[in-house]
Amino acid sequence: MSSVYVGMSGGVDSSLTAALLVEAGHDVTGVYMKNWTQDLPGMRCPWADDLADAKRVAVHLGIDFKVFDFEKEYKQNVVDYMIAEYTAGRTPNPDIMCNQEIKFKLFLDTALEDGAEYVATGHYARTEHGDLKLAEDANKDQTYFLYRVTKEALEKTLFPLGGYTKPQVRKMAEERGLVTAGKKDSVGICFVGQIGMREFLSQYVTTKPGDIIDKQTNKVLGRHDGAIFYTLGQRHGLDIGGGLPYYVVGKDMAKNEVYVSTNLNDENLWAKQIKLESIHWISGTSFTGPCHVRIRHRAPLIDAEISADGVIMLANAERAITPGQSAVLYSGTTCLGGGIVV
């Protein structure tokens, strides 16, 4: 069988991934990617605990285990990108950039150079001849986060969990005596999961207070502590109180102003057309015509059509499509690729 390097995060998904590949007869090596180890105020980074759990599973399975240190590259390609995007007033998705730059580029290249024939991860997705396919578990499907991975990388990648649901994965891990079977899933990227994006960004970006302005009356309703912390459609955390709920309908980074409205039908909140930049097609060939689009993780697939110049026309207007986010395109069960919302 094949030599497979499994990215082991210390969670149940990657643990079972390694176990299933061992059972299939592959020569499996577990790899912990050391991407982030910094503690932040009020939060201890759990990387050492995760590494210990990954090691324990590797010992239980009787497989070799290695640590690849990607901390420098992760900071440059994921964290710095995220900070720059927020500073520019956009809302990026660092998990997508992590998959593009770290897991399916740096990890893949390093593993292949070290003798692997394939890499594997615990993502809920499927591959077929280099195509990216929806997972069996629609609730856990992670193709949205994988749309920027290349066809060449996917041809060298195994996703053993693509045909299972999360409850099945936990049950199978328990049956195999894996210590991570009941471990709680990590939420988002490790350095943000427990403290929140606002607290994280505050460590790296100097912000200043500014006005929160009612778009309809031009009246100053309150103060914010940095426009970068607010995103289109946001309702909570405005602290302006009174009457009907307010929603963020725009912001001016140069003026450091955030604009809000009680009007849920505000034209800035809804869009029927999406312009994309940095478009990536998994097959390497651009696609035009009818398709489905997903504008955020776990959002429903929406009927749409994409033109040659990267403009998506939606069948119906959608709310809070935010610059910096990704719009991901599908044809049937195949993820075609996608781009960044302008």
Per-residue pLDDT tens digits for 252-296 = 999 999 999 999 999 999 999 999 999 999 999 999 999 999 999
Query: Catalytic residue at 45?
Result: no
Distance, in Å, from the CA atom of 107 to the CA atom of 155, rounded to the nearest integer, reads 15
Q: Which of these is catalytic: 45, 190, 291, 335?
A: 190
**Sheet containing 118-120, strands listed edge to edge, beginning at the edge strand earlier in sequence:** 64-69, 27-34, 3-7, 118-120, 157-158
Q: Which two tokens stand for residue 239?
A: 């602290």
CB 106 within 8 Å of CB 73: yes
Superfamily of domain 206-261: Adenine nucleotide alpha hydrolases-like domains (2.30.30.280)
Mean pLDDT of all residues belonging to the chain: 94
Range list of H helices, the chain: 12-23, 47-61, 71-74, 80-87, 94-98, 107-113, 143-146, 151-154, 166-175, 197-202
Query: Catalytic residue at 291?
Result: no
Single out the residue of 227, 224, 223, 232 nearest to residue 205, CA to CA.
227
**Integer angstrom CA distances of residue 72 from 76, 112, 178, 201, 284:** 6, 20, 31, 18, 29
Q: Which two tokens stand for residue 68?
A: 């690849």
Give me the residues of the chain with pLDDT under 50, please: none
Q: What is the pLDDT of residue 197?
A: 82
Structural element, H or E, at residue 326: strand 326-331
3-state secondary structure at position 341: strand
Distance, in Å, from the CA atom of 314 to the CA atom of 246, rounded to the nearest integer, reads 26
Superfamily of domain 3-175: HUPs (3.40.50.620)
**pLDDT tens digits, residue range 22-41?**
999 999 999 999 999 888 77
**Sheet containing 220-224, strands listed edge to edge, beginning at the edge strand earlier in sequence:** 220-224, 210-214, 257-261, 247-252
Please identify which residue in the block is written with the tokens 């195999």. Answer: 176
Residues 310-328 as b or e (16 or more Cβ within 10 Å = b): bebebeeebebbbbbbbbb
Distance, in Å, from the CA atom of 184 to the CA atom of 272, rounded to the nearest integer, reads 38
Q: Which two tokens stand for residue 90?
A: 């956009």
Q: Which two tokens stand for residue 294?
A: 């997903």
CATH T-level fold of 270-341? Elongation Factor Tu (Ef-tu); domain 3 (2.40.30)
Q: What is the pLDDT of residue 109?
A: 98
Q: What is the pLDDT of residue 296?
A: 94
**pLDDT tens digits, residue range 142-172?**
999 999 999 999 999 999 999 999 999 999 9
Q: E strands, 244-301, where? A: 247-252, 257-261, 270-281, 289-294
Q: What is the pLDDT of residue 113?
A: 98
Single out the residue of 202, 329, 213 nearest to residue 276, CA to CA.
329
**Integer angstrom CA distances of residue 174 from 19, 182, 227, 285, 294:** 12, 8, 46, 43, 33
Q: What is the pLDDT of residue 194?
A: 57
CB 22 within 8 Å of CB 16: no
Domain boundaries, the chain: 3-175, 206-261, 270-341
Single out the residue of 239, 235, 236, 215 nearest to residue 225, CA to CA.
239
| Gyration radius from the chain CA atoms | 21
> What's the first-to-final CA gap in the chain, in angstroms?
45
